[in-house]
Structure formats: structure tokens, C-alpha cells
Amino acid sequence: MEQGNDQELNLQNLQIEPQKLHKLQKLQKSQKLQGLSRFLPLVLGILSIGLADPVAAQERMLRTLSVSGRGVETIAATIARVDLGVEFQGKNASEVQQEVASRSNAVVNLLRTQNVENLQTRGIRLEPVYNYANDRQELIGYRGTNKLSFRVAPDRAGQIVDGAVQAGATRIEGINFTASDAAIDQAQQQALRLATQDAQKQADTVLSSLNLTRREIVNIQVNGATPPPPIFLRAASEAFAQGAPTPVIPGDQRVEASVTLTISY
């Protein structure tokens, strides 16, 4: 542009008749337009690319199929967590506390000889006991409790609990079963793989039924692979109170996962 301006300036500075000067200026403008015309196809091509992309993207989004796949992996529960306790009631708070401590020590010593894992105290409590009669509250004694928990292999849980009861445990809060952290993690990964395969299989079935072809996955949503809840053995106190050897059967755990795929076709 600067060169063109210089040329126009030179023409105006020349000593030329007005009629000839006008013809020369028209010729100069014509040459500029011819120069720009060489770039016109390139400019139009760039503009067409910019306009085509949004349209194509919108078309791809309109031709999509969303499917949700589900995966389930079953694993064995290999760990039993036992919650038990010692409870004693008497008239004197100090005597109650001493008795609970003595019985708890006997139970703890027994559990340690069995090499249980994660043995810990879950709670200690001493509380007054009242009798309510004729709209009156009467203190009749104290109740003390000491709750313990530990982990052990399921096939040993029944025998150890029986021994703990003989050593002084008076409360069986319950037993729950679970798999190891490593086994649960592997099961979650496998459940996700199965869920993804299930979603793809569903998409292929639907599209092939309509004579359509799956193109590409445009969105992935992992809805989760949650750890399985523990398996609880209920009514434990009644079972252990019968005095017979206690059978403990852990069962299996289910790990579930869900994946949603959006697929273009």
C-alpha cells in the first residue's frame, strides 16, 4: 500500500495534462484490483473452513447415542471384624468398674494369644441405673461396659468368639465380613472394564439394528465403582449364647460400576 501511495504521489507531482493524468490514475487502480484478485480464492477458502467446522460439529452432536453400561464383579470376603464387649451391673460404681476391667483384661489376653489383628477398645462406659415407679426415680446401681473389636480370618471367627465368651465377654455386638483393600481395588477396576464393554455392546446392538455404524466416542462419564458394603452377621448375641460351636460363613461381596458413553454415528 505504501508503494501504491508513492506512485499516486509521483503522478500528481508530474507535469501532466489533467486529462492524461486522470487516465493514468484509472489504470493504476485497475492494476491494484488485479493484484487483490489473486488472493481472493485463498481468502474464500479460509472463510469456508471457519464456517464449515461449527456446522459439522453441530451435526456430529445431533447424531449421537448415549448408553449406560453396568459391570459387576464378585469377590470373596476374607476378613471378619468382630465387635464384642463386657458388661456388668452392680450397686457400687467402683466395684462395677473393677469387675469390668478384670473381665476385659481376661478377654484381651485370650485374644492376644489367638494373634488377632487390629485389636482395639471401641468404648468404655459407666452409667447409673434407675428404677422408675410411682413417678419417682430411684438409683438402684451402676452399669459398666467395655467394647472391643478385632479382625481375623472368617474361618477362625467362631472359635475365637466362643473362647472370648468363656473368658468373660457378655456382649456380641456383631460380625461383619469384607475383602482386603487390594482385592476390592482390583474388583473395582474389573467392574469398570465390564461396564465399559457392556455400554459398547449395547451401542453396537442398537446401531446395527438401524443399519448405522458407530464412529467415535465423544464423551465418557464414569458413574462410579463403589466399594461393597460389609456383610453383617445379625442376631449374633442369640447365636453365641446357645453354647454350641458357632459356625461363621462369610459369603461373597459384589462390586458394581456404571459407565455412560456418548457415541457418534
Domains of the chain, earliest start first: 2-62 (no CATH), 64-75+183-229+253-264 (3.30.110.170), 79-178 (3.30.70.2970)
Specify the pLDDT at position 48.
53
Specify the pLDDT at position 166.
94
Q: What is the chain written as a DSSP string? A: -HHHHHHHHHHHHS---HHHHHHHHHHHHHHHHHHHHTTHHHHHHHHHHHHHHHHHHHHHHHSEEEEEEEEEEEEE--EEEEEEEEEEEES-HHHHHHHHHHHHHHHHHHHHHTT-EEEEEEEEEEEEEEEEETTEEEEEEEEEEEEEEEEE-HHHHHHHHHHHHHHT--EEEEEEEE--HHHHHHHHHHHHHHHHHHHHHHHHHHHHHTT----EEEEEEEEEEEPPPPEEE-SHHHHHHT-S-------EEEEEEEEEEEEE-
Q: Strand 216-226 and strand 136-152: pairing?
A: unpaired
Q: How far apart are alpha carbons 193 and 222 in whole angstroms? A: 11
Confidence (pTM):
0.61
Specify the pLDDT at position 44.
47
The tens-digit pLDDT sequence of the chain (265 residues) is: 444 444 444 545 555 556 655 655 665 565 554 554 555 455 445 545 555 556 555 655 579 999 999 999 999 999 999 999 999 999 999 999 999 999 999 999 999 999 999 999 999 999 999 999 888 999 999 999 999 999 999 999 999 999 999 999 999 998 999 999 999 999 999 999 999 999 999 999 999 999 999 999 999 999 877 777 777 765 444 445 455 566 777 888 999 999 999 999 9
- 41-66 as b/e: b if 16+ CB within 10 A: eeeeeeeeeeeeeeeeeeeeeeebbe
